Amino acid sequence: MGTEAGGPPDSTSQGESARPDRIARGESPAPGALLSVEAVRAGYGGIVALWDVSFSVAEGQVVTLLGSNGAGKTTTLRTVSGLLQAVSGRIAFDGREISHARTDQIVELGIVHVPEGRQLWPRMSVRENLELGAYLPRAKARRAESLERVFGLFPRLRERRNQAAGTLSGGERQMCALARGLMGLPRLLMLDEPSLGLAPRLVSEMFDSLRLLRAEGLTVLLVEQNVHQALELADVGYVLETGRIVLSGPSTELLASPLVRSAYLGVAS
């Protein structure tokens, strides 16, 4: 993948296409939403992975996209960040249509995507990896301040700042990827499975960090398979099944819903 600020280059997948240089201005279709995704259909070549998916994220909200493997969660993030071109539908950010914008333009607007799998530069130090996250002028001007902020959030990264990123543990790499995303000063942070592959203690630490970011007012779109923790953190959740949103609502309601409880939390109804 690799849309995150400063991430290593990535190969393109089948069906991805370069986007024309275009960001349209206009009214957001969902008033008040920072991100608005309306009836977006997208896929890979002839395979449709998202069937008219709609959801929105308001400023300061944490929204989680849930669903099992292959449901279309990653595809949704890739389509928002411009790596995949939607076949139809509309994506708007802060009132501007970005459906046909390029990834670099989307990053410049403040959408930072931290992909699954960390994708750090393994031979570079932790600090260098973090600094690469602040490559845009707006973020570069505040790089030292941002570095202090992320070292405050993740003291272990401060301790390891001169260590090659490739030698970090899985949990530390995930923290580093999240911290690098924060270095880009996101207006919307999109996280793809930040707890994937982490030991339970580290999953808790990761969610503690996300709670701190939430308290700071950061707007987050979170893809997670850790359904319980994600819903406890988020304001709103959407459940995707084979490319369609089958359920959505306030997290407290989803936590109580029979579908979520039986299919995702393993609770017999």
Q: Which is nearer to ligand ATP, 99 or 226 (CB)?
A: 226
Of 69, 201, 217, 269, which lies in the binding site for ligand ATP, with binding defined by CB under 6 A? 69
Of 33, 37, 53, 73, which lies in the binding site for ligand ATP, with binding defined by CB under 6 A? 73
Task: Give the dihedral sign, CA 88/93/97/103.
Answer: negative
The reply on whether position 180 binds ligand ATP by CB under 6 A is no
Please, what is the angle between helix 170-183 and helix 143-153, to 10°? 150
Q: Which is nearer to ligand ATP, 29 or 117 (CB)?
A: 117
Q: What residues contact residue 115 under an 8 Å CB cut-off, 6+ apart?
A: 1, 2, 3, 4, 7, 74, 77, 192
Distance CA 19, CA 52 (A): 20
Task: Give the x/- contact pattern for ligand ATP in 14-53, rule: CB under 6 A.
Answer: x-----------------------------x--x-x----
Distance CA 261, CA 227 (A): 10
The reply on whether position 237 binds ligand ATP by CB under 6 A is no
In 3D space, the residue among 207, 204, 238, 242 whose CA is nearest the CA of residue 221 turns out to be 238
Q: What residues contact residue 243 under an 8 Å CB cut-off, 6+ apart?
A: 43, 48, 49, 50, 51, 53, 71, 72, 75
Tokens 């046909």 found at: 100
Q: Which stretch binds ligand ATP (CB under 6 A): 23-31, 68-76, 103-111, 145-153?
A: 68-76
Of 26, 70, 166, 170, which lies in the binding site for ligand ATP, with binding defined by CB under 6 A? 70
Residue 76 and residue 111 in contact, taking contact as beta carbons nearer than 8 Å: no
The reply on whether position 269 binds ligand ATP by CB under 6 A is no
Q: Which is nearer to ligand ATP, 44 or 135 (CB)?
A: 44
Rounded least distance, CB 14 to ligand ATP, Å: 5
Rounded least distance, CB 71 to ligand ATP, Å: 4
Q: Which is nearer to ligand ATP, 110 or 243 (CB)?
A: 243
The reply on whether position 67 binds ligand ATP by CB under 6 A is yes
Tokens 């398979």 found at: 225
In 3D space, the residue among 183, 182, 160, 19 whose CA is nearest the CA of residue 101 turns out to be 19
Of 42, 53, 63, 71, which lies in the binding site for ligand ATP, with binding defined by CB under 6 A? 71
Tell me which residues touch ligand ATP (CB under 6 A): 13-14, 44, 47, 49, 67, 69-75
